[in-house]
């Protein structure tokens, strides 16, 4: 059994419970042990960094110490957490003076950042550590005929120099990991140019028109390429794609939920009742019947 | 290895305003060696295949910023990007388009007027204190008449001065397409460079930078600008520092954007984690009502945590102490 420390992030704890549910469900199904870190803080979400960058770095150094004590890599399930944690890790491991200052502050809490836990993303844990054959082996309901548009978002890969070791050295301009998973589940991947565009989440509260326009362009393009549904790895993208969907009716799922559907896991286990863009009957109509034969 | 000859296929977007109604793609199969840059292939097409092929180029050393184009959607400088690196990233067929497909003049040459007008808006030049002129400083032994600039001041500008105005960051920014008045990363980086120059006296530049619909608050933090900058300037970090400057400035104390950042920190102090409901209330105040319909839908789907003390990290006391010690 593979073991990882799970950095849950705030959004899955608050507004995107379906992500946390489907991550735990898929992990259990694939024999992965995720130890959820419950004493960590928010990563700062690229906002605390604007107000007090040192404080944000300090909190993230502290976050890593929990995974380090477990001697496990720290796995995130949110693109922005992934970016912020990777950047903090990179800074702390490449700047000895900053690391010294941070550790001086952490000393009062008997903590010390060492840099022994790598920041990783659940998507690449599945592809690199668990493997495609294992992902395929559990499929009992191949999603034949289903046309699925991947939406990667922006923070998963950028800046590439910092994130490449966490995210399979994928090109931010032509990633294929989600397409790989879609294909392994028996569905047809639908690639389209805006799959790595930003959804505008980080200004959605005070610039909703920008988010609405960006989401409209993403969903419109995916629809024009003939997609039946969309999947994403990021809770912030998912929240925005659902909140600003407007007249679009395309269901937006997490890739973990799509895996769960191909594994014929229950609706409740995958948290699909939380998805605002999903209507059960419409989604069931898109899915092929259950079969146990798949190669 | 350096002399090994391989073949690349370039699908280049062509457009002649005198003969074409719409742009089209022309395929060129060319030999390249490991040290060939994309610009070398452009030059070969122009000299050997089609002299009408148009593209901007000048210095060939990544200084003039003329030759920015998009390859498979990625903005690059043609003179500083080896063909083999592009093929490693995108495969043997490279699709080359102008850096902005909406404003084509001829083939890969575009009208950058909008980009330059936005640069003009932030007054991209130094306005030093008026002094009595070079004559007096030469005559006297005092430093009166000189405008001094120390190493420490130079460090605060970072690498913002290295911008070559190639437009790579501007034409990849997704906000420009949906909010055309946004100044964009290049102009904001230039603004950052002058705002933080102690020799500069132009005080209204900050106001331009913080204008709604134009300034830093329109940035959606996607990092595309940082990803593409051929000079590795990291424009996003400059925008982030401009955010920081306005938040810390006593001149700007209100507004939903400033309250959002302050509320974010307060939420972390309270719980160690974020609950967007109290944050939205704190940031938007009466404007929160506009979100009511979305909020009800979210509530119906179990996506709203009504308790302002949840989600709360089990380590919230230590987090609070650490944050207070590092205010």
Q: Which of A165-174, A244-253, B35-44, B221-230 has the lowest average pLDDT?
A: A165-174
Q: Are residues B187 and B306 in the same domain?
A: no
Rg, Å, chain B Cα set: 25
Q: Are residues B206 and B106 in the same domain?
A: no
For residue A210, which residues of chain B lie inside 8 Å, CB to CB?
175, 178-179, 218, 220
Q: Are residues B85 and B210 in the same domain?
A: no
**Distance (Å, whole) CA B259 – CA B281:** 10
Alpha-carbon gap: B264 to the closest alpha carbon of chain A (Å): 7
Q: Are residues B68 and B23 in the same domain?
A: yes
Tell me what pLDDT residue B2 has: 57
How large is the average pLDDT for residues B210-235? 94
A294 has pLDDT over 60: no
Write the CATH number for B78. 3.10.20.30
**Distance (Å, whole) CA A138 – CA A157:** 28
Q: Are residues B118 and B244 in the same domain?
A: yes
The beta-carbon contacts of B276-285 under 8 Å, at least 24 apart in sequence, are: B276/A11, B276/A14, B276/A15, B276/A205, B277/B304, B277/B305, B277/B306, B277/B308, B278/B308, B279/A205, B280/A205, B283/A205, B283/A206, B283/B256, B283/B257, B283/B259, B284/A205, B284/A206, B284/B256, B285/B256, B285/B259
Pairing of strands A2-7, A147-150: unpaired
For residue A49, which residues of chain B lie inside 8 Å, CB to CB?
240
Per-residue pLDDT tens digits for B156-166: 888 999 999 99
Tell me what pLDDT residue A188 has: 98
Residue A171, class by beta-carbon neighbours within 10 Å (0-12 exposed, 13-18 middle, 19+ buried)? middle
Which residue of A lies nearest to B228 if distances are taken between CA atoms? A159
In the structure encoding, which two tokens stand for residue B192, read together?
């950052």
- For residue B148, being part of any structural domain is answered with no
Q: Which of B60, B180, B40, B171 is nearest to B110 (CA)?
A: B171
Tell me what pLDDT residue A295 has: 43
For residue B220, which residues of chain A lie inside 8 Å, CB to CB?
198, 200-203, 207, 210-211, 214
A35 has pLDDT over 50: yes
Tell me what pLDDT residue B131 has: 64
**Distance (Å, whole) CA B160 – CA B192:** 7
Angle at the Cα of B85 from the Cα atoms of B115 and A218, rounded to 5 degrees: 50
The verdict on B275 touching A (C-beta cutoff 8 Å) is yes
Q: Are residues B19 and B51 in the same domain?
A: yes
Tell me what pLDDT residue B260 has: 86
Domain count, chain B: 3
Q: How confident is the model at residue B135 (pLDDT cuts 50, 70, 90)?
A: very low
Q: How confident is the model at residue B132 (pLDDT cuts 50, 70, 90)?
A: low
Q: Are residues B222 and B298 in the same domain?
A: no
- The residue ranking higher by pLDDT, B210 or A89, is A89
Q: Is the dihedral of CA B104, B108, B111, B117 positive or negative?
A: positive
Q: How confident is the model at residue B143 (pLDDT cuts 50, 70, 90)?
A: low
The verdict on B305 touching A (C-beta cutoff 8 Å) is yes
Tell me what pLDDT residue B152 has: 80
Q: Are residues B120 and B48 in the same domain?
A: no
Q: Which of B73, B179, B243 comes nearest A193 by C-beta? A: B73
A207 has pLDDT over 60: yes
Peptide bond into B311 cis (omega under 30): yes
Tell me what pLDDT residue B251 has: 67
Q: List CB contacts of B87: < 8 A, sequence separation 6 or more.
A: B6, B8, B94
A70 has pLDDT over 90: yes
From B185, B220, B248, give the residue that closes a domain: B248
Give the C-alpha distances (Å, rounded to integers) separating A14 from A7, A42, A253, A272, B273. 14, 12, 17, 16, 10
The total number of residues written for chain A in this structure: 295
| Touching A: B residues 64-93, CB under 8 Å | 72-74, 89-90
- For residue B60, being part of any structural domain is answered with yes
CB A107 within 8 A of CB A231: no
A160 has pLDDT over 60: yes
Q: List CB contacts of B309: < 8 A, sequence separation 6 or more.
A: B270, B271
Q: List CB contacts of B21: < 8 A, sequence separation 6 or more.
A: none
CB contact under 8 A, B72 and A198: no
- For residue B80, being part of any structural domain is answered with yes
Per-residue pLDDT tens digits for A72-124: 999 999 999 999 999 999 999 999 999 999 999 999 999 999 999 999 999 99
CB contact under 8 A, A173 and B74: yes
Q: Are residues B167 and B190 in the same domain?
A: yes
Q: Which of B64-73, B232-241, B277-286 has the lowest average pLDDT?
A: B277-286
Across all residues in chain B, what is the average pLDDT? 89
B1 has pLDDT over 60: no
B144 has pLDDT over 70: no
Q: Are residues B265 and B237 in the same domain?
A: no
Write the CATH number for B203. 1.10.1060.10
- Interface probe with B: pick from A205, A218, A239, most Cβ of B within 10 Å: A205
Per-residue pLDDT tens digits for A226-258: 999 999 999 999 999 999 999 999 999 999 999
In the structure encoding, which two tokens stand for residue A69, read together?
């004590």
Q: What percent of chain A shows pLDDT beyond 90?
A: 91
Q: Which residue has the tokens 């040459």?
A: B109
- For residue B43, being part of any structural domain is answered with yes
For residue A54, which residues of chain B lie inside 8 Å, CB to CB?
326
- The residue ranking higher by pLDDT, A194 or B199, is A194
Rg, Å, chain A Cα set: 19
- For residue B223, being part of any structural domain is answered with yes
B136 has pLDDT over 70: no
Q: How confident is the model at residue B139 (pLDDT cuts 50, 70, 90)?
A: very low
Q: Which of B244, B284, B301 comes nearest A205 by C-beta? A: B284
Tell me what pLDDT residue B246 has: 79
Q: Are residues B117 and B232 in the same domain?
A: yes
Name the residue range of residue B281's domain.
256-325
Tell me what pLDDT residue B148 has: 76
Q: How confident is the model at residue B77 (pLDDT cuts 50, 70, 90)?
A: very high
What is the signed CA dihedral for B202, B207, B208, B210, rounded to 10 degrees?
140
- The residue ranking higher by pLDDT, A293 or A264, is A264
- For residue B154, being part of any structural domain is answered with no
Angle at the Cα of B95 from the Cα atoms of B94 and B96, rounded to 5 degrees: 110
Peptide bond into A159 cis (omega under 30): yes
Which residue of B lies nearest to A60 if distances are taken between CA atoms? B319
Which residue of A lies nearest to B182 if distances are taken between CA atoms? A210
**Distance (Å, whole) CA B257 – CA A131:** 43
The verdict on B180 touching A (C-beta cutoff 8 Å) is no
- The size of the A-B interface in CB pairs under 8 A is 192
For residue B280, which residues of chain A lie inside 8 Å, CB to CB?
205
**Distance (Å, whole) CA A232 – CA A240:** 11
From B248, B267, B297, give the residue that closes a domain: B248
- For residue B197, being part of any structural domain is answered with yes
Q: Which of A83, A178, A169 is nearest to A123 (CA)?
A: A178
Tell me what pLDDT residue A276 has: 96
Q: Which of A36-40, A51-55, B117-121, B257-261 has the lowest average pLDDT?
A: B257-261
Q: What percent of chain B shows pLDDT beyond 70?
A: 93
H/E run at residue B7: strand B6-14
CB contact under 8 A, B240 and A205: no
Q: What percent of chain B shows pLDDT beyond 90?
A: 65
Which residue of B lies nearest to A111 if distances are taken between CA atoms? B318
- For residue B153, being part of any structural domain is answered with no
Tell me what pLDDT residue B133 has: 55
**Distance (Å, whole) CA A112 – CA A88:** 14
CB contact under 8 A, A42 and B268: yes
All domains of chain A in start order, with CATH:
2-121 (1.20.1050.140), 139-286 (3.40.50.11810)
Q: Are residues B167 and B225 in the same domain?
A: yes
Which residue of A lies nearest to B249 if distances are taken between CA atoms? A51
Q: Which of A72-81, B86-95, B137-146, B197-206 has the lowest average pLDDT?
A: B137-146
B138 has pLDDT over 60: no
Q: Which of A13, A50, A59 comes nearest B322 by C-beta? A: A59
């Amino acid at each position: 059994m593979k073991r990882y420390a799970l950095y849950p992030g705030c959004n899955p704890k608050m507004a995107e419970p379906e992500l946390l549910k489907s991550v735990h469900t898929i992990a259990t199904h694939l024999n992965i042990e995720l130890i959820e870190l419950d004493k960590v803080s928010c990563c700062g979400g690229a906002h605390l960094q604007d107000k007090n960058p040192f404080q944000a770095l300090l909190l993230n150094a502290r976050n890593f110490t929990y995974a380090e004590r477990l001697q496990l890599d720290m796995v995130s399930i949110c693109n922005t957490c992934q970016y912020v944690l990777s950047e903090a890790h990179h800074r702390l491991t490449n700047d000895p003076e900053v690391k010294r200052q941070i550790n001086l502050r952490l000393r009062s809490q008997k903590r010390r950042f060492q840099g022994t836990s790598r920041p990783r993303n659940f998507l690449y844990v599945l592809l690199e550590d668990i493997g495609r054959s294992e992902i395929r082996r559990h499929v009992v309901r191949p999603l034949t005929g289903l046309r699925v548009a991947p939406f990667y978002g922006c923070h998963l890969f950028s800046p590439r120099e910092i994130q490449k070791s966490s995210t399979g050295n994928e090109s931010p301009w032509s990633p294929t990991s989600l397409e790989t998973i879609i294909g392994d589940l028996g569905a047809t991947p639908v690639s389209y140019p805006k799959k790595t565009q930003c959804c505008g989440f980080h200004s959605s509260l005070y610039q909703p028109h920008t988010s609405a326009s960006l989401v409209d362009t993403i969903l419109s393009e995916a629809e024009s390429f003939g997609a039946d549904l969309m999947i994403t790895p990021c809770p912030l993208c998912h929240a925005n794609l659902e909140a600003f969907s407007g007249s679009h009716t395309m269901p937006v799922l997490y890739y973990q939920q799509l895996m769960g559907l191909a594994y014929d896991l229950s609706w409740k286990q995958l948290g699909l009742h939380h998805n605002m863009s999903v209507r059960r009957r419409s989604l069931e109509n898109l899915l092929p019947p259950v079969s146990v034969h798949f190669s | 290895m350096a002399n090994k000859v391989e073949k690349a296929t370039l699908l280049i977007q062509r457009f002649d305003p005198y003969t074409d109604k719409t742009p089209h793609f022309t395929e060129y199969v060319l030999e390249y060696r490991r040290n060939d840059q994309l610009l070398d292939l452009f030059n070969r097409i122009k000299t050997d295949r089609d002299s009408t092929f148009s593209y901007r180029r000048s210095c060939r050393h990544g200084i003039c910023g003329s030759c920015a184009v998009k390859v498979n959607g990625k903005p690059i400088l043609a003179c500083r990007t080896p063909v083999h690196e592009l093929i490693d990233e995108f495969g043997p067929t490279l699709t080359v388009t102008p850096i902005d497909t909406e404003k084509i003049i001829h083939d890969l040459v575009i009208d950058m007027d909008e980009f330059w007008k936005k640069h003009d808006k932030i007054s991209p030049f130094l306005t030093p204190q008026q002094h009595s002129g070079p004559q007096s400083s030469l005559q006297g032994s005092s430093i009166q008449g000189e405008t001094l600039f120390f190493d420490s001041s130079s460090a605060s500008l970072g690498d913002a001065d290295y911008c070559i105005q190639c437009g790579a960051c501007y034409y990849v920014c997704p906000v420009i397409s949906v909010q055309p008045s946004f100044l964009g990363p290049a102009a904001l980086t230039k603004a950052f460079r002058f705002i933080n120059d102690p020799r500069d006296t132009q005080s209204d530049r900050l106001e331009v930078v913080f204008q709604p619909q134009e300034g830093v608050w329109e940035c959606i933090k996607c990092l595309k600008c940082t990803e593409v900058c051929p000079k590795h300037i990291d424009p996003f970090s400059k925008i982030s520092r401009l955010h920081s400057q306005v938040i810390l400035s006593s001149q700007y104390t209100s507004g939903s954007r400033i309250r959002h950042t302050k509320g974010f920190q307060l939420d972390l102090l309270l719980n160690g984690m974020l609950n967007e409901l109290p944050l939205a209330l704190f940031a938007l105040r009466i404007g929160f009502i506009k979100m009511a319909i979305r909020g009800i839908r979210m509530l119906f789907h179990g996506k709203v945590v009504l308790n302002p003390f949840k989600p709360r990290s089990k380590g919230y006391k230590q987090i609070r102490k650490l944050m207070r010690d590092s205010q």
